[in-house]
Amino acid sequence: MKFYYQIKGRQQYSDDDYGWAWPPVFSGMVEAEDRKTAKAQVEELYGRQFPMRVLKKDIEQHAYLLHIQPITERDTYILKRFEDTACKECGVVFKLIDKYNDPNTETNSHDYCTEACKQAARGRELSEFRLANEGLSPPVIYQVRQKSTGRVYVGQTTQPFTLRWWQHLSNPTACKFHTALKSTDITDWEFSVLEVIAYPEGCTDRAGHITLREAHWVDALSAVDAGFNTVRPAGAINLAQQELL
């Protein structure tokens, strides 16, 4: 059974007023049969005994307080702190628990390893938003290809295409493409732009034209029959018929 523990340090607020400081001095996880055994493991790890309950009048006599709680697979918020997390900006792997235990950490962000990466990502997102808002980031048809199988997913976006790729990674759904993406290593995938959309003269339905071009690439690359697309782009057949009229 897994137990999450926190060692809280004593803090003095005034001459005769003490409490327990936050955040804890250290947090961690141990596996044991019961809480008593878990406590013994923590005390062996730190080479000292810790009280788990202290009356307010006795706080001055104790430097630390130990809190232990059992955790299950439902406690995902706590378990996530011990998982390897790849920085969304630079890819460096870190654990949230290491940040919590470092009083000098730059940022407690769940997504970025350092404050520099956090600010760099924010700056890029603002820049991409400005480009899209000013029409300087053209719509594209893109593909995401699995190197090991050659299977592809074809999509369209009017957003900066790097943002669309990030959205696939950070906000997965239950579709077969995202299922495959989550079940394999990120190094098995490559993202590329198939076509930068140029609207024909007199085009009155830009969204429809983008959908037609997406459908073209879905068919050309067999993205539905042999790839990760679930269906052909909605409305593509009707739009194609209209263009022939």
In tens, the pLDDT along 118-137 reads: 888 777 666 656 655 555 57
Q: Which residue has the higher pLDDT, 88 or 218?
A: 218
181: pLDDT strictly greater than 70: yes
Same domain for 31 and 72, yes or no, is yes
Q: Are residues 154 and 211 in the same domain?
A: yes
Is the pLDDT score of 103 beyond 50? yes
Q: Which of 92, 110, 137 is the last residue of a domain?
A: 137
**Structural contact between residues 22 and 51, judged by C-beta atoms closer than 8 angstroms:** no
Same domain, 197 and 163: yes
pTM: 0.53
Instruction: Give the residue from 74, 104, 137 where a domain finishes.
Output: 137
Q: What is the mean pLDDT of residues 29-56?
A: 96
Residues 156 and 234 in one domain: yes
pLDDT at 165 over 70: yes
The enclosing domain of 217 has a CATH number of 3.40.1440.10
Tell me: do 167 and 207 sit in the same domain: yes
Q: Are 108 and 164 within one domain?
A: no
Residues 150 and 219 in one domain: yes
147 pLDDT more than 60: yes
Q: What is the mean pLDDT of residues 64-70?
A: 97
Same domain, yes or no: 28 and 112: no
In the chain, % of residues over pLDDT 90:
61
Question: Are 98 and 175 in the same domain?
Answer: no
Are 66 and 98 found together in one domain? no
Q: Which residue range is the domain that position 160 belongs to?
A: 138-244
| Average pLDDT of every residue of the chain | 88
Find out whether 117 and 87 touch, Cβ atoms under 8 Å.
yes
Relative to beta strand 93-94, strand 85-86 is antiparallel
Q: What is the pLDDT of residue 242?
A: 47
The rounded distance, in Å, linking the Cα atoms of 135 and 199 is: 13
What is the count of structural domains for the chain? 3
| In a shared domain, residues 7 and 89 | no
Out of 82, 98, 120, a domain closes at 82
Asked if the model's pLDDT at residue 239 lies above 60, the reply is no
- CA gap 90, 73 in Å, rounded: 29
In terms of domains, do 159 and 211 share one? yes
